[in-house]
Structure 1
Amino acid sequence: MAFILPGESVPAQHVNLKLGPGLLQSNQSSASGLGIISTRSGSLHHNANGSKWWIENNSRRYVPAPQESVIGVITARSGDGYRVDIGAAHQASLDGLAFEGASKRNKPNLRIGCIVYARVSLAHKDMEPELECFDAQTRKAEGFGELKGGFVGRCSLKMCRELLDPNHFLLPLLGSLFQLEAAVGTNGRVWVNTDAVKRTIAVTRCIEAVDPDGGGMDEKAVKQFIQTLDLAS
C-alpha cells in the first residue's frame, strides 16, 4: 500500500486489468505501465494477482465506478426506466429491462421512494451513471433488485468497503446473535433488515460505532457494546 497524489502514474499491468475508483487510463502508455494515472489522492491498492487496482481515501462524496454495488432510491420514472439517487454528483439511470428475466411484457413496476440494490454498469466523468440489477456474468439477480422493508443507514465510504470484506467481523458477529439480512453499497449506504425494530437500530448503532469516522471500535469493544443493548426478543 502506497500513498499517491492526483496525476501520478500507476504501474498497473495485467491481461484482464480492471480499474476502480480514483484511476484512469490515458491515451498514451508509459514505460512504467499502460498509462494509468490517479485522479485523486489516497492509498493505492490492488488485489492478490494485480488484476484490480483502486485508490481509497476518505472522500465524502461517492464517485461511481464500474462493477461497484450501490444502494439507490428511485426518484422518478423516465420512459421505460427510472432515475435513481445513489448519492453521487449526478443521478443514475436504471433501465426497466435491467432485471433478471425482465421483458417488455414482464418487468418490475417500481415506485418513487423504492430502494434498489444495483450494480454500476457504466460510469464516465462526462456521462450519467447507468445501473443494472443482475450479475453481469450469470445474468441472475444474485441479490440485486428491489429491497423491501428494512432500513437504510449511512456510514463512511471507507466503512462500506470494510463491510464488503468477507473477513470483516461485524456483520458475521451480529448475524450469529439474531436473524439479519444486509446489503452494503460502496456509496456509503447500508440496508439492514431484522425481525425486530430494536435489533435493526442496534445494527445501525454498531456500524456507527465501528466506522473509522465514528467510534472506531474493534471487535472486543463492540462485543462489550452489544451487551449494553436490549436485544432480547
Structure 2
Amino acid sequence: MSVVLPGEEVPAQHVNLKLGPGLLQVPGAGSIISTRAGILNHSANRSKWWVESNSKRYVPAPQESVVGVITQRLGEGYRVDIGAAHYASLDSLAFEGASKRNKPNLKVGCLVYARVSLAHKDMEPELECFDAQTRKSEGFGELKGGFVVRCGLKMCLDLLDTKHFLLPLLGGRFPLEVAVGLNGRVWVNAKEIKQVIAIVRCIEAVDPDGGGLDAKGVKTLLDTLDV
C-alpha cells in the first residue's frame, strides 16, 4: 500500500485488470492514473486496484455502480441525483430491451441502480441500467420498495467484497435483497419491515465511520432486534 495523489500514475497491470474507485485508464496512452488522494490498494492476485480515501463526497468513475434518485424528466431521459457534485443523466433507452416504443416510465423520486458509463470532471456524468458487455440488466434498473441507507464509501467497498462477513451473516437469518452503490448508498429490502430495519441498523453499526462492529457484535445486535 502507498499514498497517491490526483494525476499520479499507478503501476496497475494484470490480464484481467479491474479498476475500482479513484483510478482511471487514460484513453490512448494505456496508463492508469489516480483521480483522488488516498491509499492505493490491490487484491491478493493484483487483478483489482482501487484508491481508498475518507472523502465524504462521491466522485463518479466509469464502470462504478451507483444508487440514484430521479430528480427530473428531460425529453428522452432523466436527471439523477447520485450524491456527486453534479447530477447525472440517464437516457430512457439505456435499459435492457428499451426502444422508442418500449421504454421505462420513471417518475421523480424513483430509485435506480445504475452503472456510470461516462465520467469526466468537466462533464455531467452519464448512467446506464444494463451491463455493458451482455446488454442485459444484470440487476440494474428501477429499485421498487425497500429502503436506502447512507454509509461511508469504505463500507460500500466492504459490502462488495465477497469475503466480508455482513451480508452472508444476514442472509443466513432471512432472505434479503441488496444493491450496493459505490456512492455511499445501499438499497435494502426484505419480506418484513423489522428485517429491513435490522439490515439498516447492522450496516450502520458495522460501518467504519460508525461503530465498526465485528461479526460477533452483529450477532448480538440481531438477537436484540428479534429477527
Structure 2-normalised TM-score?
A: 0.92
Unaligned runs of 5+ in 2: none
SS at match of 2:142: strand
| Cα distance, 1:20 vs structure 2 | 3.7
Which residue among 219, 222, 229 is the counterpart of 2:218?
Answer: 222
Q: How many residues align?
A: 227
Distance in 2 separating the partners of 1:37 and 1:229? 45
Letter in 2 for 1:10: V
Letter in 1 for 2:134: T
| Cα distance, 1:48 vs structure 2 | 5.0
Distance in 2 separating the partners of 1:193 and 1:15? 36
Change (3 A) 1:107 1:35: closer
SS at match of 1:67: coil
Q: Which residue of 2 aligns with 1:207?
A: 203
Distance in 2 separating the partners of 1:58 and 1:79? 37
Q: Which residue of 2 aligns with 1:143?
A: 139
| Residues 97-136 of structure 1 aligned to structure 2 (within 5 Å) | 97-136=93-132
Contact 2:23-2:33 within 8 A present in 1 as well: yes
Distance in 2 separating the partners of 1:97 and 1:27? 26
Q: Deviations over 1:92-129 (max 9, x none)?
A: 00000000000000000000000000011111111111
Contact 2:24-2:61 within 8 A present in 1 as well: no
Letter in 2 for 1:94: L
| Cα distance, 1:205 vs structure 2 | 0.4
| Residues 25-44 of structure 1 aligned to structure 2 (within 5 Å) | 36-44=32-40
Change (3 A) 1:197 1:25: closer
Name whichever of 222-231 and 55-64 sits farther off.
Answer: 222-231
Superposition RMSD in Å? 2.1
Distance in 2 separating the partners of 1:164 and 1:211? 13
Q: Do structure 1's residue 56 and structure 2's residue 52 form an aligned pair?
A: yes
Distance in 2 separating the partners of 1:106 and 1:13? 42
Q: Deviations over 1:160-205 (max 9, x none)?
A: 0100111111111111111211111000001111111111111100
Unaligned runs of 5+ in 1: none
Q: Which residue of 2 aligns with 1:160?
A: 156
The structure with the larger Rg is 1
| Residues 161-180 of structure 1 aligned to structure 2 (within 5 Å) | 161-180=157-176
Q: Do structure 1's residue 198 and structure 2's residue 191 form an aligned pair?
A: no
Letter in 1 for 2:190: T
Distance in 1 separating the partners of 2:133 and 2:210? 36
Letter in 1 for 2:2: A
- How many percent identity over aligned positions? 76
Distance in 2 separating the partners of 1:110 and 1:143? 17
Structure 1-normalised TM-score?
A: 0.90
Change (3 A) 1:8 1:228: same
Letter in 2 for 1:198: K
